[in-house]
Chain A
Amino acid sequence: MQIARFLFYPIFVLLGSVRRQRLLQVGLAIVVAHILMAFICGPTGNKDDPYGLTRWIPPYNPTKSYPEIPRLAPPSAAHWMGTDHLQRDVFSRVISGGWAPIVVAFSSIAISLTIGSILGWISGFAGGLLDRVLSLSMDAIYSFPSMILAIALVAVMQPGLVPMIMAIAVVYIPTYFRVTRAEVLQIREQTFVEAAHAVGAPWWRVLLRHIAPNTVNAIMAVSSFNIADAILTEAAMSFLGYGLPPPAPDWGFDIQNGQRFLQSGYWWLITFPGLMILSLSLGFGLIGEGISDLVNPKRRRKKVG
């Protein structure tokens, strides 16, 4: 019961605040649209008909070349976003290409959020040598460019969905560690924590009931920005060829393909997938901004006297 409340708390807060927040509204609308699209049009798991649902919207399979489709044709009534060099419909690839970034971003952030926050709670709460060593290690990794580290890690493993998730997860652990630890250090000094100690609450109770729940807001705000960032990292990985193996639709990879035809002026190959990445990442960025707007004014409240 307690755990359920803790887990769903962010969602309640989000729903409760949406009504007042324009940025949150727009961001949520964009993100929900993307998620719906990705899961309606993404891979179905059905071997015979892997992108079954996509076929119903534009009548094409995103991974299939059709002899009747012209090569590299500009956008038209039949092919809203044109066609590529393999005689595939770009629109069908664009609407199904969001699956990989969304799955990768959510899974990797879920992993790094869990590990990073738990380490941050413990480190900030325990203090002492453990805290110093952990902070120094996390700072060391944090100071390294996350994009480079993630790309190098995924390249060292075999390209694919799980390696992408793992690489991004590793890279973001220090971010959550730092955010939670900083929050814990601040909350630890608040008097309600001292009050809990004073009535004899055991340390785990103080941590789980008094400190951890009060770090959730900060973690939430960071998470949205991080998901936006993770989507860009996934796109970059797939752009560099470490993403889903072709012919699976993946925006970054499609942009890499389009790059080959850039000098010939086939603009539609890169423009549309790029706009999709931008809008998805922007949606999460707006949510993050909205949450920060919500969280910060409260924190600025000065005590009297």
Chain B
Amino acid sequence: MALLEVKGLTVSYPVAVGLSAFISRRFLVAVDRVSFSLPEGRTLALVGESGCGKSSTGLAVLGLLEHVGGEVLFRGKDVLRLRGKALKEFRRRAQIVFQDPYESLNPKMKVRAIVGEPLRIHGIRGDEGRLRRALDLAGLSPPDYFLEKYPHELSGGERQRVAIAAALILDPELLVLDEPVSNLDVSIKAGIMNLLRDLQEELKLSYLFITHDLADSFFLSHEVAVMYLGVTVEQGETEEVLLHPVHPYTKALLSVAPGSGREKVILSGDVPDPLHPPPGCRFHPRCPAAEKRCVEAPPGEVELSPGHSVRCVKAESPREEP
């Protein structure tokens, strides 16, 4: 059974434009009917450019957003409908590591308080051993050196390790990793990526790994879902998707990844305004292979091989009928 099963997840944000917030509210749909499942001990990567809705998906899975539709089943229970004690229990079992370790740690708290806070929130007797073990797991040793420090006394990599320690202290089953290495230098990044892989093996963790970097997803994930403007355009086993991409967007992303050896596909134009998404296939204004029928209706999801599905008319029927 999958640990996490997401069905038709939709996330929207109210758009308040200055004073008009007093008069009317509009909604921006950031995530549009996204579905995936994450088996225990595995990693699913959500890949896409900034603004594609991958981070919103991650936050929504943890029940941290309002205006969310669809179902998020964690061990069969819908997270979006959890309240009170059940929600608190879920919060203990699912944790998140954010992108920017400069912003994700409260500057007014010492490492001891930051890492120990989840224990206090969940009323777990904060024994020193647990604190040390979490720091050790995150590669912050000796723990005593770090416990009494404030975040501004630490380097970026150390801060991210503190964030990981705080996420690990409750022995979670699911970790949402929201671009955990994007703000780090390359040299530090490798250390954190290795740490995450080792932790998964050691603690049997499941990761929802959000990234814009295909190389990172190749390193860490078992499955990958490529998102564009709130929609998953292609998903499947990591190797299958990254070695045999079908969707033009996946191909374009891959072609610009360093060392891909492919001919570069430079996408023209910008990501469209999500408030006014284009009709039909959302990618068609930038798609190098767009046809007339791409404008007419959004393409359905096609399963190419077991577990590998894509949302493109070309996959439905390879050539436009005359």
Contact = CB atoms under 8 A, between A and B. Distances in A.
A–B: direct contact at CB < 8 Å: yes
Interface of A: 132, 190-192, 194-202, 205, 209-210, 213-214, 301, 303-305
Interface residues of B, number: 31
B62 A190 contact: no
A196 B121 CA distance: 9
A201 B107 CA distance: 17
A209 B121 CA distance: 12
Given A214-B106, A214-B108, 15 more contacts: A192-B104, A194-B104, A195-B96, A195-B98, A197-B64, A199-B95, A200-B87, A200-B91, A214-B107, A303-B100, A303-B102, A303-B103, A304-B102, A304-B156, A304-B183
Contacts of A202: 121
B183 A194 contact: no
Chain B interface, >50% SS class: loop
A44 to B, nearest CB: 41
Contact of B105 (A132, A192, A198): A192
Interface string B147-165: 0000000001000000100
Closest 7 CB pairs of A and B: A200-B91, A191-B104, A191-B98, A199-B118, A213-B108, A192-B106, A191-B103
Interface in B68-100: 87-88, 91-92, 95-96, 98-100
A194 B106 contact: no
Given A195-B96, A200-B88, A200-B91, A210 B183 contact: no
A303 B163 contact: no
B170 interface: yes
B83 to A, nearest CB: 12
B182 interface: yes
B121 A201 contact: yes
A304 B92 CA distance: 31
Chain A interface, >50% SS class: helix
A195 B88 contact: no
Nearest to A192: B106
Contacts of A303: 100, 102-103, 183
Contacts of A200: 87-88, 91-92, 118, 121-122
Contacts of A132: 22
B289 to A, nearest CB: 32
B59 interface: yes
B32 interface: no
28 contacts: A132-B22, A190-B104, A191-B99, A191-B103, A191-B104, A192-B103, A195-B96, A195-B98, A195-B104, A195-B163, A196-B117, A198-B91, A198-B95, A198-B96, A199-B92, A199-B95, A199-B117, A199-B118, A199-B121, A199-B166, A200-B91, A200-B121, A209-B117, A213-B108, A214-B106, A301-B102, A303-B103, A303-B183
